[in-house]
């Protein structure tokens, strides 16, 4: 990856894109289009189809046909494996092109996007392709006169709704295991960040995924997402996004066919630093990256920093230094360490949180403002707010931006109490040299993943999922396959 290659790709014209239904791009039922703007400069970037309920119905209909006729669902697992491995190879071969395309509409810095989006997607398809022909059913422990077999059967049509922050990575976490298991998929990407997933749909067809098995309908959540969730012919719904939207999806499930809903709803993750951390300088460096990379637009971002009292001021100074030193700028510049906030509305929301925090008594140590306004893009300085109290808005609410809330604590008991003092439970971190304390904190912090002496970096071998109002179900690992299968029992009299 070099700057000249990136610069050549950044100016490529993007032709208007329709939905991807039944193996080809096609205009929507009403021909409407949605203007996508680039967070890099605030300028128009591309036109994509503005989906309708009729478009969703068309995609679900072909997905159902493709599932029932068995062109994919009854293909031998080794056959699906071969196709998905080819798709992984195609993604990897065009990784830079795909990464640049995604950065242009979502603003993630290219150094992160190349690995976390394009190469990660290739690895995810490869992982589930390799796994699918190695899963076995079970034989029940019955008497000699009966044979009990437990089969894994694909559920049918999977509806997937994914966000704008890592559309390709998160999309692949859902698409790859769903396809590997033999299901057909209708995907709804974020209307502001659809381009990389439309490219993946095109490559899937090239790899040999049969027509109708993988479909993409673009458009607004209030129309396309709602229609997908209300469909009587979608068997399960998988979603990553806000809690408010997740609640609506559950309502739509109840109003329609009681489809199972698996929801990842974000978090307000605590990152807890004890005075006996093995390397406080390293803890500060990693913790800063854990909140400020991708402008804080990461579901598991360590957005609440809890620091033991005896090191509070020194550690606060160190992490403030790191925050102020980050190079924020054009996300397609290899020298930029942090890219753009995804949209103007997100930027304004971030700034409102800073204003509210100051009004509630928090101390602004660095950042807190929009920067690089001359570019026309949406950039915000990494922000550190000290002295944030448990009752403060910034302590309780997910910002989804480069804003860190810092709070002191006395001991383990108070740290666990503060860590669990929000409605969320997605991730957390603990820094300590005490092995017993590390285990106690992992047990005590209510979260789907707890990092110890690091923050982030958990790979495909382990699941990611939340507890409490951070959602249910899991992406990543072999456990992710479970939701894409139904268990079917065969009870056979011998």
pLDDT digits (tens, 9 = 90+) for 219-272: 999 999 999 999 999 999 999 999 999 999 999 999 999 999 999 998 999 999
Whether 363 and 385 have beta carbons less than 8 Å apart is answered as: yes
DSSP H/E element including 45: strand 44-49
Coil vs helix vs strand at 388? coil
Q: How many CB atoms lie within 10 A of CB 238?
A: 28
Active-site positions? 264, 299
The pLDDT assigned to 63 comes to 98
Q: Reply yes or no on whether the pLDDT at 1 is more than 90.
A: no
Q: Reply yes or no on whether the pLDDT at 176 is more than 90.
A: yes
Average pLDDT, the chain: 97
pLDDT (mean) for 178-185: 98
Tell which residue, 329, 418, 313, 412, has the closest CA to residue 371.
329
Give the pLDDT band (50/70/90) at residue 305: very high
Residue with tokens 């990856």: 1
From residue 34, how far is each of 22, 192, 344 by CA, in Å?
Answer: 21, 9, 17
pTM of the model: 0.97
The pLDDT assigned to 60 comes to 98
- In this prediction, what percent of the chain has a pLDDT beyond 90? 99
Tell which residue, 467, 430, 462, has the closest CA to residue 448.
467
Q: Reply yes or no on whether the pLDDT at 292 is more than 90.
A: yes
Q: Reply yes or no on whether the pLDDT at 213 is more than 90.
A: yes
Give the pLDDT band (50/70/90) at residue 196: very high
pLDDT (mean) for 408-428: 98
pLDDT (mean) for 81-101: 98
Quick: pLDDT tens for 308-335: 999 999 999 999 999 999 999 999 999 9
Q: How many CB atoms lie within 10 A of CB 2?
A: 9
pLDDT (mean) for 76-81: 98
Instruction: Give the helix ranges, DSSP H, for 326-453.
Output: 344-359, 393-396, 412-419, 435-444
Q: Reply yes or no on whether the pLDDT at 415 is more than 90.
A: yes
Tell which residue, 475, 477, 479, 457, has the closest CA to residue 116.
457
């Amino acid at each position: 990856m070099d700057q000249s290659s990136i610069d050549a790709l950044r100016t490529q014209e993007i032709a208007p894109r329709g939905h991807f239904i039944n193996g080809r791009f096609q205009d929507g039922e009403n021909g409407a289009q949605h203007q996508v703007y680039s967070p890099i400069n605030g300028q128009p970037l591309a036109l994509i189809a503005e989906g309708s309920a009729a478009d969703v119905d068309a995609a679900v209909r072909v997905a159902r046909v493709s599932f029932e006729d068995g062109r994919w669902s009854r293909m031998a697992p080794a056959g699906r494996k071969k196709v998905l491995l080819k798709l992984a190879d195609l993604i990897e071969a065009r990784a830079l092109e795909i990464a640049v395309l995604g950065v242009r509409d979502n603003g993630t810095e290219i150094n992160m996007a190349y690995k976390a989006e394009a190469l990660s997607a290739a690895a995810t398809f490869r992982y589930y392709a390799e796994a699918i022909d190695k899963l076995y059913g079970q034989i029940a422990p019955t008497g000699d006169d009966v044979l009990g077999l437990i089969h894994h059967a694909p559920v049918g049509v999977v509806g997937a709704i994914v966000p704008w922050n890592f559309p390709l990575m998160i999309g692949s976490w859902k698409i790859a295991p769903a396809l590997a298991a033999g299901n057909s998929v209708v995907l709804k990407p974020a209307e502001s960040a659809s381009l990389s997933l439309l490219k993946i749909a095109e490559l899937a067809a090239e790899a040999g995924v049969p027509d109708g098995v993988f479909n993409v309908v673009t458009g607004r959540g209030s129309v396309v997402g709602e229609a997908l969730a209300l469909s009587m012919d979608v068997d399960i719904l998988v979603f990553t996004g806000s809690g408010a939207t997740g609640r609506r999806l559950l309502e739509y499930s109840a109003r329609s066919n009681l489809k199972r809903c698996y929801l990842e709803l974000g978090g307000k993750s605590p990152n807890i630093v004890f005075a006996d951390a093995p390397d406080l300088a390293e803890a500060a460096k990693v913790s800063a990256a854990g909140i400020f990379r991708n402008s804080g637009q990461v579901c598991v971002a360590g957005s609440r920093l809890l620091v033991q009292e005896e090191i509070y001021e020194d550690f606060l100074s160190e992490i403030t230094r790191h925050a102020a030193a980050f190079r924020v700028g054009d996300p397609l510049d290899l020298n930029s360490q942090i890219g753009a906030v995804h949209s103007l509305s997100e930027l304004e929301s971030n700034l409102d949180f800073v204003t509210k925090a100051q009004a509630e008594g928090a101390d602004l140590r660095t950042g807190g403002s929009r920067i690089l306004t001359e570019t026309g893009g949406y950039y915000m300085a990494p922000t550190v707010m000290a002295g944030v109290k448990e009752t403060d808005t910034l302590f309780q609410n997910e910002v989804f931006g480069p804003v860190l809330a810092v709070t002191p604590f006395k001991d383990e008991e108070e740290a666990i109490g503060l860590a669990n003092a929000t409605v969320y439970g997605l991730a957390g971190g603990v820094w300590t040299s005490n092995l017993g304390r590390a285990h106690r904190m992992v047990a005590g912090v209510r979260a789907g993943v707890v990092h110890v002496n690091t923050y982030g970096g958990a790979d495909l071998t382990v699941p990611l999922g939340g507890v409490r109002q951070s959602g249910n179900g899991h992406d990543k690992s072999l456990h992710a396959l479970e939701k894409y299968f139904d268990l079917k029992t065969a009870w056979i009299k011998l």
